[in-house]
Amino acid sequence: MSNAGEWAGERDDAQPVARVHVRAPGKVNLFLGVDAPDEDGYHPLSTVFQAVSLYEDVVATPADDVTVSVSGVADPSTVPLDDRNLALRAAKLLAVATGFDGGVHLELHKTVPVAGGMGGGSADAAAALLACNELWRTGLSHERLHALAARLGADVPFALMGGTAVGSGRGDVLTPALSRGRYEWVLLVDDEGLSTPAVYRAFDEIAAEDRASSDEAELARARRIDPVQVPPEFFEALLSGDALRLGGHLRNQLEAGSFRLRPALESTLERLAADVVGGIVSGSGPTLALLCDTAESADALAERLRGEGRTALRAHGPVRGAHVVSAAD
């Protein structure tokens, strides 16, 4: 073992662990306000995350190298197994940060839609960080894991934290938010994912066009693009535990970008408006997050959508963040 890592001193040299199973949740952005990009190209966000009960399960076992395998996805080719894989990057980052020079095999079992705007890759990364920290007994604190998570991607810290949280900065500066009750969701999955950077680019194009336009209708649309902060009524709705009230406050400014790339999303939301208490694109999309007032009405809607040949998943939130399910010596 080398001691070169920035947090190398924290390693606990007890017997290695043989197998660690960690579970991490996907998320819906209940509110997503987007500001103009900063000099790094990242958009400052004003967001509220809710962790929902679609999970990524990661099983970590000792190996010579860092490797990853995937199950649970209809088309495995949609999940890269090389250095583009966020779980693999998470394990490598933890090894470098702690000076650990062994390996791990990570088995990912996915149920969060791939490239769906629900933070599935981020959940994989959060789960991999936690699993390797346990497997390798590297003993990093929650704060340090959070710092590594933020280096991996804007949504990774929230997958560690779970529950309900307000995110600022890139979405990685988190404060837990008070929320009451249980919210029932139908997640309407699109067969083909959307690229998050492409959606942000489309959003920037629309904002630029709107600024250049003097047309009244365009200017009305531009107001949709003006950066917004989470209003106080939003937090009151969250605290009420009343889905109907929260539903009226759901908002995602980024969906303008998703609609441009996938116009059918907007018409589907319009078509389903009467069946739900609120509906938005989840994050950058294309998954649609449909909030229902009861579990029964959500089950019925999911069933109906499946009858139309669509992929509709059921979930509730908020749920806890990444956690160890089992660890065997």
Positions 62 through 81 that interact with ligand C5P (CB under 6 A): none
CB of 195 to ligand C5P, least distance (A): 8
Stretch that binds ligand C5P, among 19-27, 87-95, 149-157, 185-193 (CB under 6 A): 149-157
* 124 near ligand C5P, rule: CB under 6 A: no
CB of 13 to ligand C5P, least distance (A): 34
Toward ligand C5P, which CB reaches closer, 138 or 196? 196
Burial (CB < 10 A; 0-12, 13-18, 19+), residue 199, is buried
CB of 154 to ligand C5P, least distance (A): 4
Catalytic: 172?
no
Which of 20, 68, 154, 319 binds ligand C5P (CB under 6 A)? It is 154
Positions 161 through 220 that interact with ligand C5P (CB under 6 A): 170-171, 196-197, 200
Q: At what angle do helices 120-135 and 142-152 cross, to 10 degrees?
A: 140
Q: How far apart, in whole angstroms, are the C-alpha atoms of residue 326 and residue 219?
A: 54
Cβ neighbors of 271 (< 8 A, separation 6 or more) are none
* 7 near ligand C5P, rule: CB under 6 A: no
* 42 near ligand C5P, rule: CB under 6 A: yes
* Maximum alpha-carbon separation in the chain: 69
Toward ligand C5P, which CB reaches closer, 144 or 170? 170
Toward ligand C5P, which CB reaches closer, 32 or 312? 32
Number of residues that bind ligand C5P (CB under 6 A): 13
Toward ligand C5P, which CB reaches closer, 52 or 276? 52
Write the single-letter amino acid at 78: T
CB of 44 to ligand C5P, least distance (A): 7
Q: Are 105 and 136 in contact (CB under 8 A)?
A: no
Q: Which of 57, 155, 172, 210 is catalytic?
A: 155
Burial (CB < 10 A; 0-12, 13-18, 19+), residue 175, is exposed
By residue count, the chain amounts to 329
Which DSSP string do the residues of 75-107 spell out, in sequence order? -GGGS--STT-HHHHHHHHHHHHHT---EEEEE
The C-alpha angle 73, 184, 246, rounded to 5 degrees, equals: 125
Toward ligand C5P, which CB reaches closer, 153 or 285? 153
Stretch that binds ligand C5P, among 41-49, 73-81, 158-166, 304-312 (CB under 6 A): 41-49
CB of 254 to ligand C5P, least distance (A): 9
| Cis before 80 (ω within 30) | no
CB of 45 to ligand C5P, least distance (A): 5
> Which residues in 194-321 belong to E strands, given as ranges?
251-252, 278-281, 288-292, 311-317
Cβ neighbors of 98 (< 8 A, separation 6 or more) are 5, 7, 8, 10, 11, 136, 138, 140
Which of 20, 22, 45, 131 binds ligand C5P (CB under 6 A)? It is 45
Catalytic: 40?
no
Which residues belong to the active site? 27, 155
Point out which residues bind ligand C5P (CB under 6 A): 37, 41-43, 45, 153-155, 170-171, 196-197, 200
